[in-house]
Amino acid sequence: MAKLPCNIVMVRFSFILVTLMMCGAVQGQEVCHDVLPAPGGGQCDPQSCKDKCASKHGGTGLCVQDFENLYSCQCSWPCGKR
């Protein structure tokens, strides 16, 4: 395999570098979280969790098991939406 002259390698490297700089950084949307107490002594009703999260934060609520037979309502929403 023939060796490429140094200037060709530098031109390719510069082209790749400039191309990457023009693309810019990708910015993801930040997600906020809140733990809402589950009504009923640690028993979480999925529909009430969704409703409570939607009314409080405008987000999505899921029942998650914290301890054995104890649940909480985990609420997630886009931070900028508040």
pTM, full prediction: 0.58
From the options 3.90.1310.10, 3.40.30.10, 3.30.30.10, 3.10.20.30, give the CATH code of 29-82: 3.30.30.10
Q: How many Cα atoms within 13 Å fall on the side-chain side of residue 40? A: 13
Alpha carbons 75 and 82: distance in angstroms, whole number = 13
All structural domains of the chain with their residue ranges:
29-82
* Tens-place pLDDT, residues 13-54: 676 766 666 665 555 678 999 998 876 677 888 898 999 999
Distances (CA, A) of 41 to 17, 21, 71, 72, 80: 58, 54, 9, 10, 32
Res. 59 pLDDT band, cuts 50 70 90: very high
